[in-house]
Amino acid sequence: MSSHSKRSEKKVTTQILREMKTRGEKIACLTAYDCTMASLVDAAGVDVILVGDSVAMVVQGLDTTVTVTLDHMLYHAALVRRGVERALVVGDLPFMSYQVNSDEALRNAGRMIKEAGVEAIKVEGGEVACEAVRRMVRVGIPVMGHLGLTPQSIHSFGTYKVRARDQEEADTLLRDAVLLEEAGAFAIVIEKVPAEVAKKVAAAVDVPVIGIGAGPHVDGQILVSHDMLGLYTRFQPRFVRRYANVADDMQDAFSRYRADVRSMEFPSPEESY
């Protein structure tokens, strides 16, 4: 049982996140991909739960996020939604579900809201995404942007290294953040950029800027739950702080179970009918 009573707190909305930025109160965000994990994250008082397309890597066992489909995302988002009472639930739109044209983007964002029941969607990209963002916002779909290292573009980046280290890319990032805010985005994730660049972005826009590998001078932080739990161990980016070693605990539990089955220590008379 969590020490945090989520029932005692108000449901998180995009307006509340904006107020938190104004008050200088940091926003805690994590990913989740299923109901059980989502309910634990929610009970801990985390403000935003992102059903990230990182599901491709940490659940589906793939090397990138680019192949995950809209149907996969709808499935996982619906599971997460079922487990959450307080946090704002944001569903990632996967690669090529919003880039072809803004009609398709709008239709797919609408499916996330209507079929999965999420309260907001996330798209990657700056200026290029703005037309779609504007149309979604106009019909009442809250949109979170995502700049910096945008994993859906990994094949054009060629590497997961830090972005916006040079002035030109830092300037573009700042401009994209302003354009996303003008298009109506309620928050912007910035991933793996120097802390000083992220600081300038957070100061330049009124909407909350949520960092992942973007240093401390932003309005909130997000991590992939499987990374911070030490559950996904294929690699660990420098920006991940591990709060547990769940993979070790699980491995140990599975091994002890196997040994107990082999030795007939399990089940005991008390565990039998």
Q: Who's near 217: CB < 8 A, 6+ residues apart?
A: 195, 196, 198, 199, 202
* Between 66 and 103, CB nearer to ligand KIV: 66
Give the nearest distance from C-beta 55 to ligand KIV in angstroms.
7
Q: Which of 131, 182, 191, 270 is catalytic?
A: 191
Please give the Cα distance from 104 to 109 (Å, whole number): 8
Please give the Cα distance from 140 to 166 (Å, whole number): 36
Which of positions 11-30 make contact with ligand KIV (CB under 6 A)?
none
Binding-site string for ligand KIV from residue 218 to residue 237, where x marks contact by CB under 6 A and - marks none: ----x-x-------------
In DSSP terms, 187 is beta-bridged to: 144
Please give the size of the binding site for ligand KIV, defined by CB under 6 A.
11
**CA distances (Å), origin 44, targets 2, 54, 225:** 6, 21, 13
* Between 194 and 260, CB nearer to ligand KIV: 194
Which of positions 136-175 make contact with ligand KIV (CB under 6 A)?
146
Among 17, 189, 193, 231, binds ligand KIV (CB under 6 A): 189
Q: State yes or no: is 191 an active-site residue.
A: yes
Q: H or E segment at 220? A: strand 220-223
Please give the Cα distance from 34 to 32 (Å, whole number): 6
Under the binding rule (CB under 6 A), the answer on residue 212 touching ligand KIV is yes
* Between 111 and 226, CB nearer to ligand KIV: 226
Which of positions 35-94 make contact with ligand KIV (CB under 6 A)?
50, 52-54, 92
**CA distances (Å), origin 155, targets 146, 163, 242:** 17, 14, 28
* Between 119 and 264, CB nearer to ligand KIV: 119
* Between 129 and 224, CB nearer to ligand KIV: 224
Residue nearest to ligand KIV (CB): 52
Q: For the purposes of burial, counting CB atoms within 10 Å of the CB of 220, is it exposed (0-12), middle (13-18) or buried (19 or more)?
A: buried
* Between 39 and 65, CB nearer to ligand KIV: 65
The token pair at 196 is 């000083």
Binding-site string for ligand KIV from residue 101 to residue 140, where x marks contact by CB under 6 A and - marks none: ----------------------------------------
Give the nearest distance from C-beta 254 to ligand KIV in angstroms.
26
Residue with tokens 């803004």: 102
**CA distances (Å), origin 133, targets 15, 17, 18, 50, 185:** 18, 19, 18, 18, 7
Q: What is the binding site for ligand KIV (CB under 6 A)?
A: 31, 50, 52-54, 92, 146, 189, 212, 222, 224
Catalytic residues: 191
